[in-house]
Chains A and B, each alone.
Chain A
Amino acid sequence: MSLLSVRDLSVKFAMRDNTVTALNQISFDLAKGERLGIVGESGAGKSITGFALMNLLSRPGFIDSGKIMFLGDDIVQMPEAKMRNIRGNKMAMIFQDPMVTLNPVLTIGQQMVETLMAHRKLSKAEAEQIAIVKLREVYIPSPEDRLEQYPHELSGGMRQRIVIAIALLLDPQLIIADEPTTALDVTIQADIMELLLELCQSNKVGLILITHDLGVVSQMTERTLVMYAGRIIEAGRTREIINDPQHPYTQGLINALPQQTKPGQRLKQIPGSMPSLTAIPKGCPFSPRCEFVKDRCHTEAPETVQYANVEVACHEVNRLHTDKAEEIKA
């Protein structure tokens, strides 16, 4: 049985006079202990996906249709009381800014003990013991002393470690990490990522890593979803997607990285920018920026098809491939 199974999930936002679609019928699965990356630029809908999975969307956003099956139950239909039990207990979330999770007026110890005692029948001393064990797991030096400290007394990297420790506190089966290292420095990011990877592997925890950084996804995840304008446009094994992307957007995204071009030369850029939710083009949302665009792309939204080891939503996927084959021949 898969841990998480999302089917045709649509999220809309109520605007002044109408609604806009933020997530357009997305479907994916996550096996137990699997690590999945969701990549996209701002406005692609990747953070909204994370919030929808936790059933944490707040007004004006709402789930319009679809199912989110988590351990056999549909989260969309679940009453709030039961959902609260799942959140934190079986599913935890790590945000970009640790201060979203940490309460600035409570000590680290108070916050961890409170979380534990809310979900488990434990004495305060027992809860503290678990907290110390978890802090040690995330390599926090002298965890006993940290329990007494307030979040502002710690550095950014340390705070994010504590957030991870809190996320792991109740041994969840799924961690949703929304840009967990974007606010951190590269050397600290590398540490945190390594830690997250290690913990997920050793505890068999499923991970959904939401990020804009293809490098991070490449190192952290087994499978990847690429999102654009609220849709999944490409999905498959991370290696396949990085090495042989099929969708023109994914190709453009990878080729635009400075590493892919000789120093000093012009980068391969994708023209234009991500459409805003209120003005998503008809047909394929990427069509105005696509170099392979055909008439059909402007009118008809592409279906997801299996192609060259990945699932891709593009009308012109075959043509791309023949082009490439010809290029190689020539």
Chain B
Amino acid sequence: MSSLSTPTEPSRWSRVWNSNIGYSFRRNPVAIVSLMIFLLIAIMSIFAPLIAPFDPYDLGQIDIMNSEYPPLWVDGSDAQFILGTDDQGRDLWSTILYGTRLSLLIGICAVVLQAFLGISIGLIAGYVGGRTDSLLMRLADIQLSFSTLMVAIIFLAVTQAMFGSETFNQYAIYFLIAVIGVAEWPQYARTVRATVLAEKKKEYVDSARVLGFGPGRIMVRHILPNSLSPIFVISTVQVANAIISEASLSFLGLGMPPSQPSLGSLISSGFDYIFSGSWWITAIPGIVLVVLVLVINLLGDWLRDALNPKLYKG
């Protein structure tokens, strides 16, 4: 207990850095490299309008005559276009930057929606229990028995047909966020419910009840903060999943329109040209997608290990 007598409070950052999480991060080269790559991709895509030499959304900058230039290191390239151009003559490098931005945005927003729905439902199911719990969890089972893609395809196809493709394309990003968000809430709900059931038995919850606190306060102020570790872990994995779902839907033509391509629609638009020799239109965004999803998953793995209390007990 000698540490208690130190007068100066360590800053929040150095507390994190010296904590078990910080320590396990420093000791894990895979996690360090993954985080660096992820941050690099994230920062570049956030600042895409500043970095990108062209604006892929500006039709005035696109010249169909520039189409299908290969990347710099391949014969017949144009020095303007580092990674070449796509079938419409858009600079691939700029388009990828903007596309990654969209993919990340959709992925993160969809996960925020999932988390909101899933955490609320999971907390209520776990804490209230009984019939409410049974009802909510059966709903989750039903939801899970439809695959995300199936739900998304049906929903997006119907909306596309209802609103017409023009309106759909305009609001595609919101539809994607909504459908991916709604389709995957049971993942959160189940995890949260399981943690809540474990936390609910602990004496600090009883102690809060004896003090007269209401169920809302106990759920939000007491149980939720103690259920965050598994939520963090699945969140990383879910962001990766959401990005893949978005890419798959866009690849199938149900996602972002070709005029505002995400990584998935880029891959899809290049797919027709892959056998005519223009492999880069598909391959380069494909690699970006794979790397992005991989580093997120690696970070998720590390986080799961680091937050598992069994591992740092000894």
Partner of A273, one of B1, B2, B23, B314: B1
Whether B3 is near chain A, meaning CB under 8 Å from some CB there, is yes
List A contacts of B23 (CB < 8 A). 16
Residues of B188-227 contacting chain A, CB below 8 A: none
Q: Would you call B314 and A279 a contact (CB within 8 A)? A: no
Q: Would you call A60 and B314 a contact (CB within 8 A)? A: yes
B22 shortest CB reach to chain A, Å: 11
Residues of B282-314 contacting chain A, CB below 8 A: 314
B233 shortest CB reach to chain A, Å: 23
- Mark interface residues in B1-32 (1 if CB within 8 Å of A CB, else 0): 11100000000000000000001000000000
Whether A276 is near chain B, meaning CB under 8 Å from some CB there, is yes
A7 shortest CB reach to chain B, Å: 28
A22 shortest CB reach to chain B, Å: 13
Residues of A246-296 contacting chain B, CB below 8 A: 273, 275-276, 279
What are the 7 A-B residue pairs with the smallest beta carbon separation, nearest first? A279-B2, A60-B314, A16-B23, A279-B1, A276-B1, A59-B314, A279-B3
List A contacts of B3 (CB < 8 A). 279
- Mark interface residues in A49-89 (1 if CB within 8 Å of B CB, else 0): 00000000011100000000000000000000000000000
Q: Determine the residue in chain B with the shortest Cβ distance to A274.
A: B1
List A contacts of B1 (CB < 8 A). 273, 275-276, 279
- The residues of B with any CB-CB pair to A shorter than 8 Å are 1-3, 23, 314
Q: Determine the residue in chain B with the shortest Cβ distance to A280.
A: B2
Q: Determine the residue in chain B with the shortest Cβ distance to A58.
A: B314
Q: Determine the residue in chain A with the shortest Cβ distance to B20.
A: A16
- The residues of A with any CB-CB pair to B shorter than 8 Å are 16, 58-60, 273, 275-276, 279
B92 shortest CB reach to chain A, Å: 46
Interface of B is mostly: helix
A58 shortest CB reach to chain B, Å: 8
Q: Determine the residue in chain B with the shortest Cβ distance to A275.
A: B1
Question: Complex: how many Å from CA A143 to CA B1?
Answer: 51
A97 shortest CB reach to chain B, Å: 17
Question: Complex: how many Å from CA A255 to CA B314?
Answer: 34
Question: Complex: how many Å from CA A58 to CA B313?
Answer: 13
Q: Determine the residue in chain A with the shortest Cβ distance to B3.
A: A279
B25 shortest CB reach to chain A, Å: 13
10 examples of A-B residue contacts, CB within 8 angstroms? A16-B23, A58-B314, A59-B314, A60-B314, A273-B1, A275-B1, A276-B1, A279-B1, A279-B2, A279-B3
B37 shortest CB reach to chain A, Å: 27
A299 shortest CB reach to chain B, Å: 17
List A contacts of B314 (CB < 8 A). 58-60
A146 shortest CB reach to chain B, Å: 32
List B contacts of A273 (CB < 8 A). 1
List B contacts of A276 (CB < 8 A). 1
Q: Determine the residue in chain A with the shortest Cβ distance to B4.
A: A279
B1 shortest CB reach to chain A, Å: 7
Question: Complex: how many Å from CA A276 to CA B314?
Answer: 15
B253 shortest CB reach to chain A, Å: 53
Question: Complex: how many Å from CA A275 to CA B4?
Answer: 13
Question: Complex: how many Å from CA A279 to CA B3?
Answer: 9
List A contacts of B2 (CB < 8 A). 279
A13 shortest CB reach to chain B, Å: 9
Question: Complex: how many Å from CA A59 to CA B313?
Answer: 12
Question: Complex: how many Å from CA A275 to CA B2?
Answer: 9
Question: Complex: how many Å from CA A146 to CA B211?
Answer: 48
B153 shortest CB reach to chain A, Å: 45
Instruction: Please indicate which of the listed interface residues B2, B3, B23 has the most CB atoms of chain A within 10 Å of its own CB.
Output: B2
B311 shortest CB reach to chain A, Å: 12
A107 shortest CB reach to chain B, Å: 29
Question: Complex: how many Å from CA A58 to CA B314?
Answer: 9
Question: Complex: how many Å from CA A212 to CA B2?
Answer: 25
Question: Complex: how many Å from CA A279 to CA B1?
Answer: 7
Q: Determine the residue in chain B with the shortest Cβ distance to A59.
A: B314
List B contacts of A59 (CB < 8 A). 314
List B contacts of A279 (CB < 8 A). 1-3
Known contacts A16-B23, A58-B314, A279-B1; 7 additional CB pairs below 8 A are: A59-B314, A60-B314, A273-B1, A275-B1, A276-B1, A279-B2, A279-B3
B151 shortest CB reach to chain A, Å: 41
Question: Complex: how many Å from CA A59 to CA B314?
Answer: 8
